[in-house]
Structure 1
Amino acid sequence: MNLSLITSILLPLFFFWNQVQYSELVGTWQLTYFDGIEKIVHSPEYQNATPTQRANMDARIKFRLENTVYQFEEKDVLKYIDFVNQTVVQKEAKIELKDENMLIIHDEDEDRLAKIVELSPKKMVLLPISATSRSGKLVFERIK
Structure 2
Amino acid sequence: MNLSLITSMILTFTLFLSQVEYKQLIGSWQLVHFEGMEKIVKSPQYQNANALEKAGMDARINYRLENTVYQFVEGDILKFTDFENQVVVQKEAKIELMDGNMLVIHEEKGDRLAQIIEFSENRMVLQPISKAAASGRLIFERIKK
Q: TM-score range by the shorter chain?
A: 0.7 to 0.9
CA distance in 2, matches of 1:58, 1:21: 36
Taking a change above 3 Å as real, the CA distance of residues 16 and 126 of structure 1, as seen in their structure-2 partners, is closer
Return the letter of the residue paired with 2:142. Answer: R
Alpha-carbon distance, 1:133 to partner:
3.0
Alignment identity in percent?
63
Alpha-carbon distance, 1:29 to partner:
0.1
Taking structure 2 as the reference length, the TM-score comes to 0.87
CA distance in 2, matches of 1:141, 1:107: 23
Q: Highest Rg: 1 or 2?
A: 1
Listed one character per residue, the Cα deviations across residues 52-95 of structure 1 (whole Å, up to 9, x for unaligned) are: 00000000000000000000000100000000111110000000
Count of residues in correspondence between the two structures: 131
* Structure 1 unmatched ranges of 5 or more: 1-13
CA distance in 2, matches of 1:36, 1:27: 25
CA distance in 2, matches of 1:16, 1:138: 18
CA distance in 2, matches of 1:86, 1:15: 35
CA distance in 2, matches of 1:23, 1:95: 12
RMSD of equivalent CA atoms: 1.4
**Structure 1 stretches of 4+ moved >4 Å:** 14-17
> Could you tell me which residue of structure 2 aligns to residue 119 of structure 1?
119
